[in-house]
Structure 1
Amino acid sequence: MTTAPDDQFAADVDLDTALRHPLDPLDGDEIARAARIIAAAFAQDEEVRYERIELLEPAKDVVRAWTPGARVERRARFSFYRRGRIGVTEGVLSLDKGAVEESRDLPEARPMIMLEEFLEIEACVKAHPDFIAACRRRGIENIDLVCVDPWSAGEFGVPGEEGKRLSHTFCWVRTRADENFYAHPIEGVNAVVDVDNMVVIRVDDYYRDREPLKVPMTESNYDARFFDRFQEPGKPLDIIQKDGPSFTVEGRKLSWMGWDVRVGFNGREGLVLHQVGYTQDGERRPVMHRASLAEMVVPYGSPDNAHHRKNVFDIGEYGLGKLANSLTLGCDCLGAIRYMDAWVNGVDGTPVKIENAICIHEEDFGLGWKHWDFRTDATEVRRMRRLVISSISTVGNYEYASYWYLYQHGMIEFEMKATGIINTVGCEPGKPSKYGVEVLPGVQGQIHQHLFCARLDMEVDGPQNSVVECNVVVPPMGEGNPYGNAFYEEQTVLKTEKQARRTIDPSTMRYWKVVNPNVRNAVGKPTAYKLEPMSAVTAFTNPESPSGKRGGFIYNHLWVTPFHPDERYPAGEYVNQCEGGQGLPAWTAADRPVENADVVLWHVFGLHHPVRPEDFPVQPVVTCGFKLMPSGFFDRNPMIDLPPAKNKASCCV
């Protein structure tokens, strides 16, 4: 549907709005205005609950043609649902005109589980008599100490679950206020909640006909309030930049050491980079139009009790952006810090400000390059630094810390730092199942994986790029390789989507390059950036399983598609309780050409996590990620002309 423009919702044209960049995220006023436009068009007598209100990013040609001071119409994507009714309505509205421009109903789609619903689900479960009875069978009388986590339910064809938006829950209990409840799993009790109507449809007690596992009661805390003494800390390690940082910030544009990038944010993906480019000798050269973490899935390996349902899509089913932390100076980031706030919508349409959602700072990164000439005894050495753009989100028990790094030598790196608390389950003390490791007596952590997919809308020296696969070839010994030392790299252009469904191969040291066949470097080769797959993981979920069908993107480490504005998420737009088959597997079935085209790379990487006792009560950071390295993009080492410098604050001890 479309609605007629309404002046009461139209934007006032002020100086700040006129100077806003087309890719700047919606601010609080714009989110509030969008919610009013949606409510006027759709609310009527039913409660509208807002899943998403975010910037509709303008077409690439509009963004490229934009000049400071020019005005570009501000438009928003939206999706909402109604309490008690299945389905989603999505659409586009004009903030300038105050009108809905297009919309459509998706009766089979389920929205995300919203942050505001977390505690509602918990309260609903804790009030149900069957749940209370199951807890009492395990010796739990004080239900106030019980904690219920609202996991997404997936799609498993369970009778009675059809046609509902669900949460499948897991539960624990505290021994006292604020104590770490994950040390005390209530094993085998799972409530299934109809989230739209906020009613429990079923409580599964897997020990209904047998003696339940005892709830382990050994405490294992991490909050400083529970410690009487601490280990001896290190001496202060201060990062001081008395002259300030080397980066500059103008609005959402960040510039540093030749690099410039626009920093975006939305409720689903969280941190987004736009228009990443490098200026050399006065010429700005584009590298990427857009980069984000577009999806992740966490499959668990246990088929016991209800644990087969643990296969959560933390981005598509919850939203990293909406669950972003407000970062703290001197803790989450060190040094000379610049923060950026973020705005997301609440379920009632009100704008929610996440202060300090994004942290920007510099880090020393050690040796940049060095050489000693043994003939002249002369040494040249340069240190390297990197620019860090980061955001941290908490999804239930886990923390996901996303870091984008820009380096002086032209490299771009993404690193995911995973921490938080492992998902715990019960076991007989000393007898964990083969699918887990005991971390406390009667408490086990199950084997699982964290599989991420980065969406990289490449633009190496312009919009027309190709993707090349590089493999090492070893000729057989004999003629042409008489000494057995020969090996070389063979490069193959990936011409279509199906050909570009690729996995890593350590036996050939496989990697991929994004080349611009229309731009040549000083030695006549196409300019390029290489994708270095540092953290490829083999997915063990069966592709034909319910979970495998929903997460079909995880079975290749690389996908390449021609750019399409509506192809944004590798598992599809609406992941929650979908049957699967959507997203990358469906799009690439068309086998569209991707040679010398506007291409998007989708890189799948992750963490394989057989749990250790050292991962509890809070897991030390573990990391994964990938690198985008210049490969013929520059004609020489771009750090070679850094001036010699010696740090005067260093001293001998």
Structure 2
Amino acid sequence: MSNQEPLKQVGHPLEPLTTGEIIKAVAIARKEKGLTDAARFEQVGLYEPEKSVVLNFKEGDAVVREAFMIVLDTSDSQTYEGVISLTDEKVVSWTHVPGVQPSFLFEEYAELEETVKKNPEFHKALEKRGITDPSLVMVDPWSVGYFGVEEDEGKRLARALCFVRKNEGDNAYAYPLTGLLPVVDLSTMKVVRIEDSGVKPIAPMDAEYKPERTDKIQVRTDLKPLEITQPEGPSYEINGHNIKWQKWDIRIGYTAREGLVLHTVDYEDKGVKRPILYRAALSEMVVPYGDNSPAHDWQCAFDAGEYGIGQLANSLERGCDCVGHIDYFDAVMATGNGDIHRIPNAICLHEEDYGIAWKHTDWRTEDVEVRRSRRLVISFFTTVANYDYGFFWYFYTDGKIEHEAKLTGILNIGVLEEGETPKYGSLVAPQISAPIHQHIFNYRIDVNVDGQQNSVQELNTVASPPNFQTNRYLNSFHAETTTFKTELEAQRRVNLETARVWKIINPNKKNFVGEPVGFELVPGENASPFLHEESSIMKRAGFIKNHLHVTKFDRDQMYASGKYPNQNKGGDTLEHWVKENRNIENEDIVVWYNMAVHHIVRSEDWPVMPTHYIGFMLKPHGFYDGNPALDLPRPAAIKGTSCH
């Protein structure tokens, strides 16, 4: 596409970049900045406009389009950030960012594997393990983290986890070459060294999970069909990336780093469109491992910032990943070479029945009123090497929002000597140990509860003091409310003993009983990290110490781990931003929430982990005047029965 070729017009400032816009942005950057073939495009995406532009936009207004890109020059491992005006066809800004490494490029996965498998020293290491056919070896890139290794400074590196199939088509993750860790310079695609902590045996048992490849799995034959039909079609409407369903008005986006992004989530209440969220997405996922062996003691993945979960998303299949009436959205990104990386059916949209919305039976009159709940589901799934993650946003007919992460896939494991017992992991099969680890998900929730001026309150329930006059039966308890004023005050942890929740309010808007309108952030499953303060991980991801942070809005503070966590020693993260201790009361604020899966691995998690569910809820608390689901229609009863 030439720079003069007209682009398809988009109807909203937050529409993701189109294929043509990505190609054009790359072409403008190549021409104006003289980029050579050594330039690799880590990302090319929408440069999101200022909030004022978005919130004041009216249909039919002119849309100014800009692209943001991160470019790595592989000739010298230097990184550049560019903003490209697609409207004016020029480079608006071009900034050298010294001392950082962008996340892995999609192409580097295959290039690293090929590089390692061709290396003569690697062949010798395989021969020590009795492996003569390198074609059976599988190699996955892993981020090296930061441990102050002088010879690694300034290089773009990855460690390679190695596995071997006993036969073609085997589940290679069942046969790790524990302790064999080639280190690769990704810019030059050369093996810089091979770390080898000693030969371990090959796992003695297979771990097939495909019934057609093993006689150990007898497929069930007693499951009858379960059909989900919507003969009149879905209840939602789609216009570009804008979705309207029931009273919800939701705009979605997609980035190579975050995957699915929620934009401008509104709810129509009594004929008025009321804003709730401006932007919400996964900010980072930190996965520290607790095993102290040389094979694992360095492992801590930053799955969003180091790997880009958006670029690793699955193409979803109807009837497999999503059932019922489905609509899909493709994800369009740039490849490292500046071409197009398209993931068909990356985002799934559908409706689900969700049981009883509300019900009451008057036992005196036998009058029964019941309404059924329904939810809108917007989701995507991504595969980061061995693990698979699903991210689901649910919108309900009673005005609440829920997020759920789903974890499945194959465990990261190591091989033990016969008779060896793991201290820092669990035996999932003979001589196979899966290290204890955590998955800590951080979400950036840019709130907009009835407007941009919001505050956060903490509610702790306490038992009232014993007092004959005010608590004579010693049964009184009540919630105490604290409003956070500054960022340092708002570093908080979940507390089951006080049933702690956090409430996001607009102090300038009152509901019908005279209280500030608000939404409650209700925690679900959670845990705290078990890492020493001086560890490399905590220096890079100290924000995981607390479950909640609240910051004053800053458009440059998008990711809790900073813009460039790959090989970063730490310093520009959420933990450091809050030290500015800005005012967060009645301000444009961002809520950051950490939730953690604490995984003491079970034998039932092998060879493929049953899906683990974890999430949180944004539940209206004083936002609506009464139950917003009162107007749901009575369900249609099955013939011969009655719902009322």
Please give the range of the TM-score, normalised by the shorter of the 2 chains: over 0.9
Q: Which residue matches 2:57?
A: 66
Offset at residue 11 of structure 1 (A): 6.3
Selected match of 1:260 from 226, 249, 264: 249
Tell me if the contact between 2:2 and 2:24 (Cα under 8 Å) persists in the aligned partners.
no
**Matched residues in 2 for 1:517 and 1:357: separation?**
39
Offset at residue 388 of structure 1 (A): 0.2
Offset at residue 45 of structure 1 (A): 4.5
**Matched residues in 1 for 2:77 and 2:88: separation?**
30
Selected match of 1:116 from 107, 125, 146: 107
For residues 96 and 549 of structure 1, do their structure 2 counterparts lie closer, same or farther at Cα, with a shift above 3 Å needed? same
Tell me if the contact between 2:355 and 2:373 (Cα under 8 Å) persists in the aligned partners.
yes
Residues 116-145 of structure 1 deviation map (CA, whole Å, 9 limit, x = unaligned) = 111111121122222222221111111110
Q: Does 1:355 align with 2:349?
A: no
Q: Which residue matches 1:473?
A: 462
AA aligned to 1:260 is: D
AA aligned to 1:218 is: M
Selected match of 2:558 from 546, 552, 568: 568
AA aligned to 1:9 is: N
Q: Which residue matches 1:278?
A: 267
SS in 1 for 2:617: strand
**Matched residues in 1 for 2:61 and 2:269: separation?**
26
Q: Does 1:222 align with 2:209?
A: yes
Selected match of 1:12 from 3, 6, 28: 6
Q: Does 1:39 align with 2:26?
A: no
Selected match of 1:241 from 226, 230, 241: 230
**Matched residues in 1 for 2:639 and 2:508: separation?**
47
Offset at residue 647 of structure 1 (A): 4.2
TM (norm. structure 1) is 0.95
SS in 2 for 1:315: helix
AA aligned to 1:360 is: L
**Mapping for residues 224-623 of structure 1, pairs under 5 Å:** 224-228=211-215, 229-479=218-468, 480-623=470-613
For residues 649 and 557 of structure 1, do their structure 2 counterparts lie closer, same or farther at Cα, with a shift above 3 Å needed? farther
Selected match of 2:90 from 93, 99, 105: 99
Residues 267-321 of structure 1 deviation map (CA, whole Å, 9 limit, x = unaligned) = 1100001110100221100000111011111100011013111101010001111
Tell me if the contact between 2:310 and 2:382 (Cα under 8 Å) persists in the aligned partners.
yes
Offset at residue 344 of structure 1 (A): 0.7
For residues 463 and 601 of structure 1, do their structure 2 counterparts lie closer, same or farther at Cα, with a shift above 3 Å needed? same
Selected match of 2:629 from 630, 634, 639: 639
Residues 5-63 of structure 1 deviation map (CA, whole Å, 9 limit, x = unaligned) = xx9525626xx51x521000001111111111111123444521000111011111111
Tell me if the contact between 2:38 and 2:75 (Cα under 8 Å) persists in the aligned partners.
no
Offset at residue 476 of structure 1 (A): 2.4
AA aligned to 2:271 is: G
For residues 462 and 11 of structure 1, do their structure 2 counterparts lie closer, same or farther at Cα, with a shift above 3 Å needed? farther
Tell me if the contact between 2:254 and 2:260 (Cα under 8 Å) persists in the aligned partners.
yes
**Matched residues in 1 for 2:202 and 2:187: separation?**
31
Instruction: Indicate the larger mover: 269-278 or 127-136.
Output: 127-136
Instruction: Indicate the larger mover: 431-440 or 404-413.
Output: 431-440
Q: Does 1:88 align with 2:75?
A: no
Tell me if the contact between 2:277 and 2:445 (Cα under 8 Å) persists in the aligned partners.
yes
**Mapping for residues 58-207 of structure 1, pairs under 5 Å:** 58-207=49-198
For residues 44 and 358 of structure 1, do their structure 2 counterparts lie closer, same or farther at Cα, with a shift above 3 Å needed? closer
SS in 1 for 2:303: coil
SS in 1 for 2:92: strand
Selected match of 1:55 from 46, 55, 60: 46
Residues 150-204 of structure 1 deviation map (CA, whole Å, 9 limit, x = unaligned) = 0000001124212211101211100111210111111111111111111111111
AA aligned to 1:441 is: P
Instruction: Indicate the larger mover: 60-69 or 288-297.
Output: 60-69
AA aligned to 2:85 is: S
AA aligned to 2:3 is: F
Tell me if the contact between 2:184 and 2:192 (Cα under 8 Å) persists in the aligned partners.
yes
> What percentage of aligned pairs have identical amino acids?
43
Offset at residue 456 of structure 1 (A): 0.5
**Matched residues in 1 for 2:313 and 2:35: separation?**
32
Instruction: Indicate the larger mover: 562-571 or 579-588.
Output: 579-588
What runs of 5+ residues in structure 2 fail to find an aligned partner? none
Residues 402-422 of structure 1 deviation map (CA, whole Å, 9 limit, x = unaligned) = 000000111100000011111
SS in 1 for 2:537: helix
SS in 1 for 2:68: strand
Q: Which residue matches 1:4?
A: none
Offset at residue 233 of structure 1 (A): 4.5
Q: Does 1:213 align with 2:200?
A: yes
**Matched residues in 2 for 1:233 and 1:647: separation?**
28
AA aligned to 2:6 is: D
Offset at residue 234 of structure 1 (A): 0.8
AA aligned to 1:515 is: I
AA aligned to 1:532 is: V
**Matched residues in 2 for 1:33 and 1:651: separation?**
61
SS in 2 for 1:360: strand
Offset at residue 650 of structure 1 (A): 10
SS in 1 for 2:152: coil
**Matched residues in 2 for 1:131 and 1:144: separation?**
13
Instruction: Indicate the larger mover: 604-613 or 472-481.
Output: 472-481
**Matched residues in 1 for 2:490 and 2:612: separation?**
30
Offset at residue 648 of structure 1 (A): 2.9
**Matched residues in 2 for 1:388 and 1:395: separation?**
23
Tell me if the contact between 2:540 and 2:573 (Cα under 8 Å) persists in the aligned partners.
no
Instruction: Indicate the larger mover: 422-431 or 181-190.
Output: 422-431
Offset at residue 217 of structure 1 (A): 3.6
Please report the RMSD computed on the Cα atoms of aligned residues, expressed in angstroms: 1.7
Tell me if the contact between 1:10 and 1:95 (Cα under 8 Å) persists in the aligned partners.
no
Aligned length, in residue pairs: 639
What runs of 5+ residues in structure 1 fail to find an aligned partner? 1-6
**Matched residues in 1 for 2:210 and 2:560: separation?**
37
Offset at residue 515 of structure 1 (A): 0.3
**Matched residues in 1 for 2:417 and 2:587: separation?**
57
TM (norm. structure 2) is 0.97
